[in-house]
A and B are shown apart, each in its own frame.
Chain A
Amino acid sequence: MPTELRHATVAALALWVSTATPSHAQLTAREVLDRVDANMTVTTARLTARMSITYREGDVRDLTFESWSLGTDQAFMEFTAPARDAGSRFLRRGNAMWIFLPRVGKSVRIQGHMLRQGLMGSDFSYGDASENPSMAEDYDATIERRDTLEGRQAYVLYLTARRADLSYPGRRVWVDMERLVPLKEEWFARSGKLLKTAEFGDVRRVGDRWYPFRIELDNALQADTRTTLQVLDIRFNVAIADEIFSLRHLESGS
Chain B
Amino acid sequence: MSDRKRRIPLVRLALRNARRNTRRTLLTLSAIMVAVAALTYGLAHLTGIIGNLLDSYARLESGHVRIRHEGYTERERFLPVHLNMRRLSEMLEIVRGHPGVTEALPRIRLAALVDGASVNRPGLLLGVDLSREERYLGPQAMTASGRLPRAGSPEVLVGAEFAEKLGVGIGDTLTLLSQTAYRSLGGARLVVTGLASSGIPYLDNTFLIAPLDQAQSMVDLQDATTEIVVFADDHTHAQGLAEELRKALSPEFKEIEVLSWHDQGQLVRMLDMMQPILAVFFLILLTMACLVIVNTMLMTVMERMREYGMYAALGMRRRDIVKLILAEGSLIGLLGAVVGGVIGTLFAVWLEQTGISVAGAARAVDMPFQGRLYPDWRPTFALVTIASGVLAAALATLYPAWRAVRRSPAESLRA
Contacts and interface: CB of A to CB of B under 8 A. Distances in A.
Nearest to B217: A103
A120 B122 CA distance: 16
B185 A101 contact: yes
| Chief secondary structure at chain A's binding surface | mixed
B75 A106 contact: no
Given A85-B184, A108-B115, A121-B183, A99 B122 contact: no
A103 B115 CA distance: 15
Interface string B155-189: 00000000000000000000101011011111111
A83 to B, nearest CB: 10
Contacts of B121: 112-113
B120 A114 contact: yes
Contact of A84 (B119, B179, B182, B187): B182
Given A113-B121, A114-B120, A224-B75, A104 B187 contact: yes
A121 B120 contact: no
Contacts of B122: 112-114
A190 interface: no
B184 A121 contact: yes
Contact of A109 (B120, B182, B189): B120
Interface string A52-75: 010100000101000000000000
A82 B184 CA distance: 10
Contacts of B187: 101, 103-104, 108
A117 B78 CA distance: 11
Given A101-B185, A113-B121, A121 B179 contact: yes
Nearest to B220: A84
A130 interface: no
A103 B121 CA distance: 20
A88 interface: yes
Contacts of A151: none
Nearest to B75: A224
A104 B189 contact: yes
A11 B183 CA distance: 60
Contact of A61 (B115, B119, B120, B183): B183
Nearest to B184: A85
B113 A108 contact: yes
Given A111-B120, A112-B121, A106 B182 contact: no
A122 to B, nearest CB: 9
Nearest to B183: A121
A105 interface: yes
B120 A99 contact: no
Contacts of B177: 99, 101, 104, 108, 114
Contacts of A53: 183
A224 B185 CA distance: 18
Q: Which one of B78, B122, B175, B184 has the highest number of Cβ atoms from chain A below 10 Å of its Cβ?
A: B184
B253 to A, nearest CB: 18
13 contacts: A53-B183, A61-B182, A63-B184, A104-B187, A105-B189, A108-B120, A111-B119, A112-B122, A113-B122, A114-B113, A114-B120, A114-B122, A120-B185
Interface of A: 53, 55, 61, 63, 82, 84-85, 88, 99, 101, 103-106, 108-114, 117, 120-121, 224
Given A104-B188, A112-B122, 11 more contacts: A88-B184, A101-B186, A103-B186, A103-B188, A105-B189, A109-B115, A109-B120, A112-B120, A112-B121, A113-B113, A117-B113
